Amino acid sequence: MTGLYIVNFDTRQLPQQTIDYLVIGSGIAGLYTAYLLARAGRKVVVTTKKMVENTSTERAQGGIAAAIGANDSPLLHLQDTLRAGAGLCDPESVRILVTEGPERVRDLVEMGTRFARTKNGFALVREGAHRKRRILYAGGDATGAEIQRILCHQVATQKIPVLENHFVVDLLVHQNKCYGALVLDETTGCLAVFRSRAVVLATGGAGQLFGQTTNPPVATGDGIAFAYRAGAEVCDLEFIQFHPTVLALPGAPTFLISEAVRGEGGILRNRAGEAFMSRYHPDAELAPRDVVTRAILAEMKATGATNVFLDVTHMTGAELQRRFPTIAQTCADQGLDIARDWIPVAPAAHYLMGGVRTNVYGETAVEGLYACGEVACVGVHGANRLASNSLLDGLVFGGRIAERLLARTEKADAGPEFRCSTLRDAAGTDYAGLRVALQKRMDAHLGPIREPAGLEEALRFFEDHEYLQQCTATDTGAMEVHNLFLVGSLVTEAALARRESRGGHYRTDYPAPRESWRRRLIYQRVPGDERDSG
Ligand code: SIN
């Protein structure tokens, strides 16, 4: 059974500080929420487990979707989002996303974000499954880096403390109310207690469950794991989006080749040079991501290759430099001139549609605990996220959390002391080896194509490692492994339970959606023997 904590501690023996709000995570969702709270005069602290810019936001290439074009509307954006979500989106959440999105994007512009422009206004491009050109981008293919830059600037202007190398170990929850968090300062190796009126989770995704991912190394599912341990609901975890086009060169970094490249006419070719996508979907290269991913895997299998190719040679070197400077340079570093050479690509884990379940105000099942961005699941992505909706999700629902918190007037309550002393020593555990073993299982059995025997095998693997939950984690590497095992086991259980294929979840034994499965799988920890806990 999952325990409440992953380390032994006693808050009476630890340094403690009290603030208004603790925001965990420094991507778009966390920094935007923190900025809005601080701008209203509240005392906010942001913690981030590495450096402030080590986020998925920083890596985002394609852009941010918003219905601001002359022939576009929130209704069309809503319809595209619902269609991509394959019947599992929450329509009210999507309505909020697409109607409040344009205003939030304007807020980013007012802060100074330099989205690309034409003489008629913002330059808008198209990505897969969007019927309109509605993606704003910056720096060619460096949209996330530009947003991260501007939000870091705003956070500095508001003098919000951003505590880097601070790893949140667990939340401090008593009788279903969150009082703060237990935090490890990695530079000193010391634990400390942050008490706050509310905790906002914005810790991003869990791409590190897999060997190949576009996510940064920090994406180890920590927020989902500690929210689950604390009693929050988690849902839709079986829905993992694999990005179809990630650079696939031996020895090269796992580097995203943006969908925007296909939006600009890039063609997928198999080993024989054939443009194969129209055999799989009428929208060809701009079909939904799960369709493109499975098509690529089928072509790789049929031709015995470990990759396919993305051909952008219809663009000139100058055009590519202007539109995709980061991609062109990264490929050049690997000896590829993308104006002449096809880019070898293969799918890799990219985005977790599920997460900590929230309502449209970012509230979780635990009082005082909020979540936004990739760690959260408010139902806007359903079974498959529409391209470039994720930055918008962080912005819109982070903004709503800030508004909700600012409207609340109840007095802060410091809460009780907390302790845990029941975990046993795990000295000698090979955490690095465990991490590799987990990634191998996830790659083999929880990828874009799932087989029942593989899912059963993965479940047995997680069951064999349940003992980890009774062990104390000694450093952040071990803590990440604890979190990966918990999240991996939940993903596996959900994937095994969902006997259908839908969006990002595809099973060979149930290859089609089933109407009886148009429902969500929600998991919540059952409280156990917690003598020691609060
Ligand atoms: C991309 O640029 O292809 C990624 C955008 C996204 O995942 O929304």
Residue ranges covered by each domain of the chain: 9-239+353-407, 243-347, 436-516
Is residue 375 pLDDT above 60, yes or no?
Answer: yes
Average pLDDT, the chain: 96
Q: What is the pLDDT of residue 414?
A: 86
Is residue 473 pLDDT above 70, yes or no?
Answer: yes
Residue 260 Cβ contacting ligand 1 at under 6 Å = yes
Which atom in ligand 1 lies closest to the alpha carbon of residue 61? 2
Which atom in ligand 1 lies closest to the alpha carbon of residue 391? 8
Q: What is the pLDDT of residue 3?
A: 77
- As a whole number, mean pLDDT of residues 190-216 equals 98
CATH of domain 436-516: 1.20.58.100
Handedness of CA 276, 281, 284, 287 (dihedral sign): negative
Residue 390 Cβ contacting ligand 1 at under 6 Å = yes
Residue 363 Cβ contacting ligand 1 at under 6 Å = no
- As a whole number, mean pLDDT of residues 156-179 equals 97
Q: What is the pLDDT of residue 410?
A: 78
d(CA 534, CA 526): 16
Q: Give the tens place of pLDDT for each residue, 75-132.
A: 999 999 999 999 999 999 999 999 999 999 999 999 999 999 999 899 999 988 899 9
Q: What is the pLDDT of residue 531?
A: 47
148 Cα–ligand 1 center, Å:
16
Which of 59, 149, 262, 289 is labelled catalytic?
289
Q: Give the tens place of pLDDT for each residue, 259-311.
A: 999 999 999 999 999 999 999 999 999 998 999 999 999 999 999 999 999 99
- Residue 475 is classified by DSSP as S
Query: Band of the pLDDT at 343, cuts 50, 70, 90?
Result: very high
* Chain centre to alpha carbon of residue 392: 13
Residue 61 Cβ contacting ligand 1 at under 6 Å = yes
Backbone angles phi and psi of 291, in degrees to 5: -65, -45
Is residue 476 pLDDT above 50, yes or no?
Answer: yes
38 Cα–ligand 1 center, Å:
30
Q: What is the pLDDT of residue 412?
A: 79
Q: What is the pLDDT of residue 534?
A: 46
Decide: 325 and 142 in contact? Cβ < 8 Å.
yes
Task: Say which residues have a Cβ less than 8 Å from residue 186's Cβ, sequence separation at least 6.
Answer: 49, 165, 166, 167, 476
Handedness of CA 107, 112, 117, 121 (dihedral sign): positive
Residue 387 Cβ contacting ligand 1 at under 6 Å = yes
Which atom in ligand 1 lies closest to the alpha carbon of residue 127? 3
> Torsion angle of alpha carbons 184, 186, 187, 192, nearest 10°?
0
Q: Give the tens place of pLDDT for each residue, 402-423.
A: 999 999 987 878 899 999 999 9
Query: 3-state class of 383 per DSSP?
Result: coil
Pairing of strands 9-10, 419-420: antiparallel
Q: CA 308 → CA 10, 200, 290, distances in Å?
A: 54, 41, 16
Share of the chain above pLDDT 70, in %: 98
259 Cα–ligand 1 center, Å:
6
Q: What is the pLDDT of residue 529?
A: 53
Decide: 443 and 212 in contact? Cβ < 8 Å.
yes
d(CA 25, CA 31): 8
Nearest CA to ligand 1 atom 8: 388
Q: What is the pLDDT of residue 88?
A: 98
317 Cα–ligand 1 center, Å:
22
d(CA 204, CA 212): 17
Q: What is the pLDDT of residue 527?
A: 74
Residue 259 Cβ contacting ligand 1 at under 6 Å = yes
Q: Give the tens place of pLDDT for each residue, 250-268.
A: 999 899 999 999 999 999 9
CATH top class, domain 9-239+353-407: alpha beta
Burial string for 249-260 (b: 16+ CB within 10 Å, else e) reads beebebbbbbbb
Decide: 255 and 348 in contact? Cβ < 8 Å.
no
- As a whole number, mean pLDDT of residues 158-166 equals 98
Q: What is the pLDDT of residue 403?
A: 98
Is 289 one of the catalytic residues? yes
Q: Give the tens place of pLDDT for each residue, 378-395.
A: 999 999 999 999 999 999
Which atom in ligand 1 lies closest to the alpha carbon of residue 259? 3
60 Cα–ligand 1 center, Å:
6
Is residue 530 pLDDT above 60, yes or no?
Answer: no
Domain range 243-347, its CATH number among 3.30.365.10, 3.30.470.30, 1.10.3210.50, 3.90.700.10: 3.90.700.10
Task: Say which residues have a Cβ less than 8 Å from residue 157's Cβ, sequence separation at least 6.
Answer: none
